[in-house]
A = this chain, B = another copy of it.
Amino acid sequence: MRACVDFSAKEEARLELALAERVIEKEARSEIVAEGTQPEHIFVVKEGWACQYRTLHDGRRQVTAILLPGDLCCSHMFVLKEADVSVSTLTPLVVSALSRQALSTLVSEIPDFSDALWWQALMAASIQREWTVSVGRRDSTERMAHLLCELFVRLRMVGLADADAIPMPMTQMDMADALGITNVHINRTLQSMRAKNLIRFDRRRWELLDLAALKRIAMFEDNYLHVRPGCNLDIEPSDPCVAVRSG
């Protein structure tokens, strides 16, 4: 599922079995996890997008992560006592729920599973760091460009992006809350980017007209997301993104 550790066929099957155990479907724009509660399960996103966010007393909201297919949701909740973030769907969502029990069973049955969990957690932390850098030190255009590059690479890794376009279910309001900008200013930023022929959109499909320029503007680093050398994002996504275990 996540291209980080190469499981054997048997392990893969075991994993699939566990993930098939309890599959849940949620409609678009519904809350999965509420801040302050102690969720029973962690979730693995199978289809659709979700976002993780914190809301301040006065209503200000900051999205802290976008969850795409293959991502884990709230892996921290079994160690920390309660959720410090909320999670809501952006699109209709299909997730596998894993109980604490199921998780520890997997850890004991699949030798490399623990490594996979670590990889995923550290990856998420790395993305989180870069988001801090974005909101702290990039201006609105740079932030937007960085978000688009990140989403492009991540979607590409799981075969959900064309060579030059991505689906975009987020509203401008969602983006505003993700980038720490107001929705009005997001709109203006997007317009200026469209005027420069960097992007174009038709409904919920966004074309990245000049990916190289976007990366340059965003100061997007290719070693970000620790993309495997064997994982060539330029080729068609149908081509399997071969996982090579480091070390």
What residues make up the interface of A, taking CB atoms closer than 8 Å to B?
36, 54, 56-58, 60-62, 64-65, 75-76, 78-82, 84-85, 114-115, 118-119, 121-126, 128-133, 135-138, 179-180, 219, 221, 223-224, 226, 246-247
Task: With A123-B80, A125-B125 as known contacts, state yes or no: A137 contacts B62, CB within 8 Å.
Answer: yes
Residues on B with beta carbons closer than 8 Å to the beta carbon of A137: 56, 60-62, 180
C-alpha spacing A223/B85, complex, angstroms: 12
CB-based contact B180/A54 at 8 Å: no
Least CB separation from A61: chain B residue:
B137
CB-based contact A121/B123 at 8 Å: no
Residues on B with beta carbons closer than 8 Å to the beta carbon of A226: 80-81, 84
CB-based contact A115/B56 at 8 Å: no
CB-based contact B85/A129 at 8 Å: yes
Could you say which of B84, B180, B246 contacts A135, with CB atoms under 8 Å apart?
B180
C-alpha spacing A242/B226, complex, angstroms: 38
C-alpha spacing A223/B36, complex, angstroms: 9
User: Among the interface residues A82, A114, A223, which one has the most CB atoms of the partner chain B within 10 A?
Assistant: A223
Task: With A121-B121, A125-B121, A128-B128 as known contacts, state yes or no: A136 contacts B80, CB within 8 Å.
Answer: no
CB-based contact B132/A82 at 8 Å: no
Residues on B with beta carbons closer than 8 Å to the beta carbon of A81: 223, 226, 246
Residues on B with beta carbons closer than 8 Å to the beta carbon of A221: 84
Least CB separation from A128: chain B residue:
B128
CB-based contact A129/B82 at 8 Å: no
Q: Give chain B nearest CB distance to A228 CB in angstroms.
A: 9
User: Among the interface residues A76, A79, A132, which one has the most CB atoms of the partner chain B within 10 A?
Assistant: A132
Q: Give chain B nearest CB distance to A127 CB in angstroms.
A: 10
Task: With A54-B129, A129-B85 as known contacts, state yes or no: A122 contacts B122, CB within 8 Å.
Answer: no
Q: Give chain B nearest CB distance to A31 CB in angstroms.
A: 18
CB-based contact B224/A84 at 8 Å: yes
